[in-house]
Structure 1
């Protein structure tokens, strides 16, 4: 197993040129905040007063129904920007929870507004991030609405594999740290734990993927793409 794959799990320090490339505001470390695994960064309905830029680790964004059921709407990887609110209420419509130890740059709205006005590069970074997030959201909606259980799980695994691998283009990662439980996968795909377990066992038996103790091993990438039913253009939109 290569070091970069483990680094994506949240073991890095957030220092150095690689981390700087992941920052919405390059060179700024004064607003960095370390978060423990399982800690909430903010909850549903929290005041919208800052934007969060993940430098290291994994974060899940989720919504809640009145009865407590949870839908994970996105897994944020290093470089991701979240916490932005599109409504007029001034409060977030989703929550954010760290899945691993994480390093997050918390950028106040006042600072972000000033930088967007004075720095076209920061504006371009933010636009690219929002564009990618929209593409991911559309694909997740398609999965929950139209794909069957087998396709949903395969598509999610493929998405996370592609997004992780492209952060380290010089490494051929066939095994990666995936800090998710089967419950997380179920919350992201709209499936029960039992259904997720059944699909993963079938994919392992067929020699497609193996997911055990939060390690994901891609046994047959081509077959995984076929099971997920994802074309090249859709996969490129995840990057």
Structure 2
């Protein structure tokens, strides 16, 4: 099972849209896919019209009570572990574990699903915490959406510093430009400057109405408009992520 985390310490960069649409693209290609909504806001869960069971919470998650809380989506081959509001306390719960266990907790929790799924996606909250360290440890690939603006680039720099601090494999990180508006000269100039770095993928995701409408239609863009520019870009993005992520 390949674990792909969609992560940035900055909010509003398109993490959840990326996680939902890449998970959908993976499932359509025939890969058994599990999307885990790690963000207490539950945006990915909302897109799939799924709520966590009332008794499911952060403590149950860390206790390994996962299998019976995984729900099937409306799409074949794509399952979801929905978020719970208590996930906002995951860092506190992780901190209560022993030092040897706390950084690898997520990796151990999902290890039993290695035979059941081909791809595990983690839709991650925007923070730089103990949970972030767990995500880095668990991920085979860490996909970082970057809006072509200064603050978003700073968030990427912070991620690189965290990898260095943890002595983690920087080759796990893959960045791509998200929410790109070609009419903005700053976006174009930023992409021109940074797209030359090997860290960045060639594929970018434009700022498109189809993606914004996900909040209304509550489905991946490929499910409602398979031939739309947005759907095609997410499919291209997933193929490039796969290509760059080999071998794991």
TM-score, length-scaled by structure 2: 0.26
Q: Which structure has the higher relative contact order (CA within 8 Å, separation 6+)? A: 2
TM-score, length-scaled by structure 1: 0.26
The structure with more helix, counted as a fraction of residues: 2
The structure with more strand, counted as a fraction of residues: 1
